[in-house]
Amino acid sequence: MADLVNELEGKVAIVTGSARNIGRATAEELARAGAVLVINSVQAKDLCEEVAEGICAAGGKAIPFLADVRDPERVSAMVEAATREFGGVDIMVHNAAVRNNTPFEEMTLETFSTTVDISIYGMFHLAKAVLPTMKERGGGSIVGVGGMSSTRGAKTRSHTMAAKMGLNAFVRGLALDLAPFGIRANQVVVGTYDTVRENNPSSAPRAALNLSANNIPLGRLGAPQDMADLIRFVVGPAASYITGQTIHSNGGAYMAL
C-alpha cells in the first residue's frame, strides 16, 4: 500500500499556469505532499512569486518562472532552471490554457490558433523538455488538464473543444511511447468549476455549458482544491499503474441534461 503522507517527497514538479485558480491549488497541494515546485505563468510575475513565497513560508521549496509554453526555448529554460535548482523533473502538469466563449461565426484564426497552440504545442514542448530528465531519474508523471466541453459539447467553445480533445489524444500517445521509460501520462478533466479568469468573467465553463449548482448531481460547483486533490493522486504512487487514462472531476455534471 502506498504511503500517502509526504508521498511526493524528493519529487520535483512543474505546474504550468500555476499563478491562480486550479494551477495554484495544484502547486500548493503537491507541495503539501512533499514535492518541490516550479510555479509558472506567462506574465503574472507577482502572482507567481506570491505562490512560491507561500510554499516556502509553509516549509516547502518553490521557484517562480515566467514562460510561454508555446516558446520551446523558454520551456527548455524552465526545465533547466528546475534541474539546476532541484536536480531534475519528475512531475509535469500542463494546466496553462486560455478560455473564452466565442461563437464560431465571430472566431478569428488567431483566437483558434492561440487556444490550440497552448494546449497541444505547449504539451509537445513541455514533454520534449522533461523527457531527458525523467528518463535519467527513472520515470515520471505527465498530466494534461482538459475540459468537459470537449466531450460533452458546448456552444461558443469549438476552439477549446478542438484543443482539449487533441490534448486527450496526445496524452494517450505519450502514455504508449513513454511507458518503457517508466513515464506515465494521463489527462484530468475539469467540470464546472468556480474559477475566475482575469479580465474575462464570462470565461467560466458554466457560461458555455449552461450549468449551475442546481443541475449538477452533487449540488455544487467544483472548487480548485477538488482538481488539486485529483492531480495529487494521479501523479503519486497510489496511481503507479494508471496511464493513458482520462479522469473526470465534475460532480456528475457530465451526466446532467
For residue 111, give the C-alpha cell. Answer: 483566437
pLDDT: is 215 or 115 the higher one? 115
Cα–Cα distance for residue pair 187/170, rounded to 1 Å? 10
Which range among 8-22, 33-47, 124-138, 203-217 shows the weakest confidence by mean pLDDT?
203-217
Residue 64, beta-bridge partner list: 39
Domain ranges of the chain: 12-251
Q: What was the pLDDT predicted at 198?
A: 54
CA–centroid distance for 135 within its chain: 21
pTM: 0.92
Tell me the average pLDDT of the chain. Answer: 91
pLDDT beyond 70 at 199: no
Q: Please state the rounded mean pLDDT for residues 124-129.
A: 98
Query: What does DSSP assign to residue 222?
Result: B
Question: How confident is the model over 23-50, as a mean pLDDT?
Answer: 97
Grid cell digits, residue 237: 504512487
According to the model, what pLDDT value does residue 33 have? Answer: 98
CATH 3.40.1390.10 fits 12-251, yes or no: no
Instruction: Express each pLDDT in 127-170 by its tens digit.
Output: 999 999 999 999 999 999 998 887 777 888 899 999 999 999 99
